Each structure stands twice: as C-alpha cells, then as structure tokens.
Structure 1
C-alpha cells in the first residue's frame, strides 16, 4: 500500500485538539471525503474539517487537546492510493506522469519525464533526454500532442531551438 503525502500539521488551533494543516494537494476536498488519514504512521479518523483563510483545520481522533496538537506539529499527513479520486479522461496525477517516455512526433527526440513543475502559468515537463541533458517542455497543446496513460508515452511536437536551451 503506497501512501501519498497530502499535507503537514503546522500548528495547534484552540484548546480542543484541532490542528492547522499546510495543504500539499490542489484541493481541500481530499480531507472532507477521506474518513481516515495517516498522521505519520498513525491512522486517525477525521472528525471535522473546516477552512480558515487558505489553511485546512482538522480535528483528528487521538489528538484531543492543545498539548497533543502541539506535539503533532511537523507531522506529515498521508492518504492511501485507494483514497485518490478517479480523474476525468485525459487528466493524470503528477506521480503517474513521472517516468513516462517522451517522443517527438516524427522526430528524433526521446526522453523520460523526471518532474512536473507547477509554479508557472502552465505545468512544465522536466524531461531527461537519452544523452543526459534536461529539457523543459511546457504542457500546452502546441507542444504536447497526446498523453497515453496505458502506453506511458507522451507524444510532443517541438519547435526549433527548444531542446538547445
């Protein structure tokens, strides 16, 4: 069973054991639809979820007072692979994209996705070429023609000079 990191407890809230969570996922709904989450190695029941500005506030079983909440600071939170929601057709989790082969349509470019950067206007595939060089390919329709999850293959069309950067 693979565990997927979704957040980290960063502080205690109030006196009844609530914790403030820095959310690593793209949605707080993962906390609302998952009845139990791992806090480190402990499987805890989610008793309550609420939002405070952009932070998730959780009440977890076994963390029943301020002292226990303070002691949980720094603990990372995980769900299991079975708790991941099904994605619509054509959408992929980043963890599924990493390791996919990348080939240029009708060209000679070949590499493997090593990371997906998300701190820009669009996602960017970090691709390690067969010759060891790393290339950044924006995940936009102009470059990415097809992502085949079953074949684990991303077909791209590259413009001149993109692989020379």
Structure 2
C-alpha cells in the first residue's frame, strides 16, 4: 500500500522584531514527522520553551518555502546534543525532510529567565564596557568560547583607528553586568 506524503503548507508571517536565530533543522528523524535540530547553544532552553518557531529557508540548497513562516511546535526534547521536534501538520518523514536546512528563530521575549548571575550571550552584545575608574573600554561585538573561558570581544577606537579588545568573561575581571543600564563594569585597564 502506498500513501501520499502530506504537502508542506506553512503559514507565511513576519519575523518578530526581537527574533533570535537559535538553530537549524538538520534532518528528518523517524517516520512520524519528527525532525532533528542543530541548536546554536549548548543549552537550547529557548527551543524547549517556545511553542511557535519562525523558519526561514536555508541560505543554499533546496527551498520548500520562501520568506518567513510560522511552525507551531507540538513537542521538543533533548537528544544527545541535538533537539528532536515534532510540529503541527508535519506528520511524515517526507514532509519533515522538506524542512532540512531551515533556519529557526524564536522571539527573545520567549526565552526563559536565566538563573541569577547567568546571561544569554545575545543580551550582552552591544553593551558598553567600562572599567572601575569609569573609562569606556569599548562595546561588546561578540563573545567567544575558548574552552577554558569565554571572552568578551569589544570594538573600540584608539587614536582614531578601529580596534579590538578581548576581556575574559570571568568573575575575576567582571564586576557587574547591568542589563538595564546596558553596561558591564570590569576590573581591566586599556593597556592590558
């Protein structure tokens, strides 16, 4: 007996203004429409807590849809560094395979609150970094995991030239993260 695969019909929508890219769909998993997600975080809580994912097509390869579409999630669970997900109207392997490569976005407002003293990297991007003496050291452009520690990578200007400064994001150097004030206070000097 041959059964016809479900056609992929996803609701076109606008990407929320606070959308953050959190992963991509890697492949189908099983026969019932589940699919594997490669999260961009070691702790993909945003994927588990949000039941409405926004997809955009892969940058290259086959595209089963265009623009931004809404994907209501029935269930998502951890699977050894990957996330397994099952979505509304995705009920067979062929339909799940059509999503391969899609980029997944969720609204930042749907992220669970981190424990005290912990931060989502996305919330640190753009913050001003100043030292204890009030000297501006730069603006956070990225965070870089180096294995031993995470580094704040700052953009700054020195003598009219754009520069880069790296500060370990560890308690020995970071005194306070003040998200409402959009700043990080550090024990660091510009000549380190």
Normalising by the smaller structure, the TM-score range is: 0.7 to 0.9
Secondary structure at 2:175 match in 1: strand
Task: Report deviation, 1:48.
Answer: 2.5
* Contact 2:142–2:154 under 8 Å retained in 1: yes
1:62 is matched with which residue? 89
Please give the per-residue CA displacement for 1:87-107, whole angstroms capped at 9, x wherever unaligned: 334433222211111122227
Matches within 5 A, 1:68-87: 68-87=95-114
Give the structure 2 partner of residue 42 of structure 1. 69
Question: 1:117 is matched with which residue: 144, 164, 180?
Answer: 144
Q: Distance in 2 between matches of 1:121 and 1:84?
A: 26
SS of the residue 1:30 aligns to: helix
Partner of 1:143: 173
- 1:106 maps onto 2:106 in alignment: no
1:8 is the counterpart of 2:35:
no
Q: Per-residue CA shift, 1:61-118, capped at 9, x if unaligned?
A: 1322221111110001121122111233443322221111112222755211111112
**Greater CA deviation, 40-49 or 124-133?**
40-49
CA shift, 1:141, in A, is 2.0
21-30 or 68-77, larger mean C-alpha shift: 21-30
- In structure 1, list runs of 5 or more residues that go unmatched: none
Long gaps (5+) in structure 2? 1-15, 57-67
Of 32, 57, 78, the residue aligned with 1:51 is 78
Q: Aligned partners of 2:26, 2:109: CA distance in 1, in Å?
A: 26
Q: Does 1:96 align with 2:123?
A: yes
Give the direction of change, closer, same or farther, for the CA distance of 1:28–1:113 in structure 2 (3 Å limit).
closer
Residues 154, 74 of structure 1: alpha-carbon distance in 2 compared, 3 angstrom cutoff: same
Looking at structure 2, the residues matched to 96 and 14 of structure 1 have their Cα atoms a distance apart, in angstroms, of 36
Count of matched residue pairs: 162
Q: How high is the TM-score relative to the length of structure 1?
A: 0.85
Q: Does 1:24 align with 2:34?
A: no
After TM superposition, the score normalised by the length of structure 2 is 0.74
Please tell me whether the aligned partners of residues 150 and 169 of structure 2 are also in contact (alpha carbons under 8 angstroms). yes
